[in-house]
Amino acid sequence: MRVLVIGSTGYVASRLIPTLLKAEHQVIAGARRPAKLDRFYWSDSVERAEIDVLDETSIMKALQPDIEAVIYLVHGMDGMNFRETDRKAARNLVSALPTSNVERLVYLSGIVPQVKREALSEHLISRLEVEEILAQATPTVITLRAAMLLGAGSASFDMMAGLTRRLPITIVPYWMDHQVEPISVEDVTMAIEGALTARIPTGHYDVGGGQRFSYPDLLELFAEVAGIHRDQLHLPSLPEPVVAKLVARITSVDTAIAEALVESLQQNMVATDARWTSDLINRDSNFKPCGIREAISRSLKDPDATVPPSSRDPLGHLPGDH
């Protein structure tokens, strides 16, 4: 299958594209600045397309007649009008698709907590708005909703690692004590690849790792696996904006991304079911998502420089990671 990946310079794409290539898909890596693909070891194995999602003509040009599927990995994070930017980009793609031969569109979104819409964070509302716009597209549209991604280089993993390693005491506001269901980035890439060919109609799937933790318990598990002892200090009130700024300052995570991640910790971020493991991963009836302890352990291992990147663990650090 010829697959166009839009947002191919991001973290998820860096792990997804090797999965697609291994499954013998032909990949067209779409990016606003294709030269940024040079840092990935797989860059010579893909075709490139220059795409500005805010320019419909740019998208139409990239949608060559032989492209059968599109994977959309674009998420706005910063700026005063990031929601409007996300909506415009999604509308541009939907408008361009009827002129193409694309039969399937796969979008990676975020878990949507079971609360009223107005209670969602701005970033989760934006993800949901994009879902709703893309669902109007003519091809089959499969949305995958994931919470925290585990893997070295993932912003959520790096935030957890930075907070654990750099603070002598882990500070946890009471409002952060919600359930989260992480998933390894390797499993997410398998779900996305499976969604390309699964015989399913337009709809969405929650993709979770099958284990739920409160965020403080997850931090404690990370510290245990990393061999670090950290006491936790639970505070009754610590404003979210203050926490986000502290996280960005303490860790290597960008401020806008830190704000989005911290926002998500105010709700339970758990999957409503596990349908994805049977509907999307149908090549192996014994498939089970990677356990959280194992995922953390694999993500923490130092890469072996003697092993070529294509043979390394996708949960570990790879060339091109920021």
Q: What pLDDT sits at residue 112?
A: 92
102-156 tens-digit pLDDT: 999 999 999 999 888 888 888 889 999 999 999 999 999 999 999 999 999 998 8
pTM of the model: 0.93
User: Dihedral angle at the C-alpha atoms of 141, 59, 35, 299, nearest 10 degrees?
Assistant: -10
Residue ranges of domains in the chain: 2-311
Chain-centroid distance of CA 78 in Å reads 16
Secondary element (H or E) of residue 191: helix 185-197
Chain-centroid distance of CA 43 in Å reads 20
148: CB partners within 8 A, 6+ apart: 156, 157, 180, 181, 182, 183, 218, 269
What CATH homologous superfamily does 2-311 map to? Answer: NAD(P)-binding Rossmann-like Domain (3.40.50.720)
3-state secondary structure of 113: coil
288 class by beta-carbon count within 10 Å (0-12 exposed, 13-18 middle, 19+ buried): exposed
Phi, psi of 216, rounded to the nearest 5 degrees: -60, -40
Phi, psi of 235, rounded to the nearest 5 degrees: -110, 140
User: Dihedral angle at the C-alpha atoms of 255, 108, 290, 295, nearest 10 degrees?
Assistant: -20
Q: Which letter, b or e, does each residue of 15-49 get, where b requires 16 or more Cβ atoms within 10 Å of its Cβ?
A: bbbbbbbebebbbbbbbbebeebeebebbeebebb
Closest CA to 296 of 171, 232, 173, 211: 211
Q: Which letter, b or e, does each residue of 294-321 get, where b requires 16 or more Cβ atoms within 10 Å of its Cβ?
A: ebbebbbeeeeeeeebeebbbbbbbebb
Q: Which residues of the chain are under the pLDDT cut of 50?
A: none
Cα separations in angstroms, 175 against 4, 106, 260: 40, 33, 15
